[in-house]
Structure 1
């Protein structure tokens, strides 16, 4: 792709305050090393990979590290978002921002979402799939979903380590992250969040985990065995409300399944850089660029057009 055109909805940044908080707690990103990051490095990568705009977000475990310390989480969220907004102000032609909020502190999350969207001009909100074992369909989170619905906000859901031990030799991003994305998506649908709050546009990372592959299993078993009052077709419609990014998912087996399941316009480009190395991006970009089964304009829609329609403005801003 000679001219940068892609809108990358799954691109991370590593603000200093977040990195310090992560390492001070002895934590990692699910056992994955935290890479170096700078705006200059990001722009150089984007130029090489044909990316015009990267919508930045902080990855797992988000900003709420200590279950007993809401204040620290609120302060970290504010610092992370101010840092991200400054990067966007410096290069509005290249960056957007998904703001972090300190769930499970709902009051703090509402306050920070309002500040990020109204004052900082963030393009949406990033949530991790579970916070201290609490998934996104938790009834206590209803006020947040109601406010995001009122705003017709874009929400990017990034996986986190599920509340279980890693497989030996397998850091969470290798296996558990895609499981946890699927788990929180099912939790959201069974809790009725997409149906009750249809104005929220929710992007699931990494092609939705294995949701596109298994959605009919989830809907069928729910309606037949768990809750006969649930209609399987309606549950499928709820699953299809989600948007999906292609980060680490534009592969010979995953991409056809994703495209067969997702609604038109609901597949977006994602790189997962810098936590996914650039070599991985090159592999998946190559498959996107040579995939033989796109309908007319299909690749261009994933690269850019679907994101422009979702955010409602060219190049995100």
Structure 2
């Protein structure tokens, strides 16, 4: 095993001025809580830069390559026509960034899920013409879940292409935020509903819905990636298996689908405890790396964390890049 392996980070974000304008033009009831960190302050500034400053941050953390993607909330709260108009432009820009620095960047496509047929066609273009590696998506399109039959064309296209879908958190619906995360004061309400815990429950539920609705039974080749060490699901798997598998009429226990159809990343949460738990729960071959740039400042070099949490050099290399590179070989171009 080589002493030095590549580190490829998969949840590394960017934004375009046109997307920011579309988000701001939405009525307040449709705006995602991610609008502020994705457009303002230091994170908003860094998201718009795909150049030397980003590469310097990568070098400081020991990250060889970022897989770029449009940041939250993506295009999923937009009107269908607006989302379709933006998806091609964003993907062309992502492809340009990769062509400019192919040694440092890869990319996930952005998809207009409010128009599922158009999103499926764009995924095919992004993979086969632009050379992108799947797509970054979000669980709900306004109030519709990804397991809704309306989104079957997109999921079927991803499965047929062998292109992974990275399922990213988004803010819970307004009614859920009011019922479960409200009443503590605006700053704390927002934090509780997003990076505190709400994002992760929301994304974990979307992943669980994909499984229990039978999506992976219908599309066994579909591969999904989730961050934040499995969006809380891994830590409740025994009970989920016991209480949901039979009721859902699944062919296998819920946990089996995590080991065959789901990859997990840390999203910048460099916890040795969580890494060891994830290895024990779903296996080293199902773990990829992600830093969640620019939202999570890394406390030290990635390889130091991997050595501490996964002492075997082969395991460090697998998480660092080998598992991702193996997944890419499944994409049919």
1:306 lines up with 2:326 in the alignment = no
Q: What residue is the counterpart of 1:197 in the other structure?
A: 219
Which deviates more, 51-60 or 257-266?
A: 257-266
Identify if the C-alpha distance between structure 1 residues 293 and 123 changes in structure 2 by more than 3 Å, giving closer, same or farther.
closer
> Structure 1: where are the runs of 5+ without partners?
none
CA displacement at 1:218 relative to structure 2: 1.3
In the superposition, relative to structure 1, how do residues 296 and 283 fare at CA in structure 2: closer, same or farther (>3 Å)? closer
* Residues 1:145 and 2:151 are matched in the alignment: no
Say if 1:133 and 1:162, in contact at 8 Å, map to a contact too. no
Correspondence for 1:98: 108
Alignment pair present for 1:62 and 2:66:
no
Q: TM-score, normalised by structure 2?
A: 0.83
**8 Å Cα contact 1:215-1:239 kept in structure 2:** no
In the alignment, which of 136, 140, 150 is matched to residue 146 of structure 2?
Answer: 136
Q: Secondary structure at the match of 2:284?
A: coil
Q: 1: distance between equivalents of 2:131 and 2:73? A: 23
| Worse-matched range after superposition: 233-242 or 103-112 | 233-242
Q: Given the alignment of the two structures, is residue 51 of structure 1 paired with residue 77 of structure 2, yes or no?
A: no
CA contact (8 A) 1:251 1:284 kept: no
Deviates more, 1:92-101 or 1:105-114: 105-114
Give the count of matched residue pairs. Answer: 304
For residue 293 of structure 1, report the CA deviation from its aligned partner: 5.2
Task: Name 1:240's counterpart in structure 2.
Answer: 259
Change (3 A) 1:173 1:32: farther
Residue in structure 2 matching 1:83, options 93, 101, 104 = 93
> Structure 1 residues 293, 205: closer, same or farther in 2, change over 3 A?
closer
Give the aligned partner of residue 264 of structure 1. 284
Gaps of 5+ in 2: none
* TM-score (structure 1 length as normaliser): 0.87
* Contact 2:124 2:161 (8 Å CA) reproduced: no
Alpha-carbon separation, structure 2, partners of 1:92 and 1:249: 27
Residue among 43, 50, 69 paired with 1:39: 50
Match of 1:249 in 2: 269
Partner in structure 1 of residue 295 of structure 2: 275
- Shift in alpha-carbon separation, 1:184–1:309, aligned structure 2, 3 A: same
| Structure 1 vs Structure 2 CA RMSD | 2.4
